[in-house]
Amino acid sequence: MYRIHGTSDPSSVGRAVSNGCIRLLNAHVEDLYDRTRIGARVYVQ
C-alpha cells in the first residue's frame, strides 16, 4: 500500500526517502484533493 502526502521539503519530492510513500508538493496535494474522491483508484507508473 502506498501513501500519498505533501511535504514542506521540495528537495525530497521524487526521491526514495521512505518506504511506501509518494511525496508531492503541498500545493499539488491540495489540487489533487479537490479533483478526486475518497476511495478513488490510483495507478502508479
Nearest to 14 by CA among 26, 4, 24, 27: 24
Q: Given the C-alpha cell 491540495, which residue does it identify? A: 30
21 is catalytic: yes
Active site residue 5: yes
> Which residue is it, cell 526514495?
16
Choose, from 13, 21, 24, 29, the residue flagged as catalytic.
21
Of 2, 3, 5, 12, the catalytic one is: 5
DSSP label at residue 10:
G
Q: Which residues participate in catalysis according to the annotation? A: 5, 21
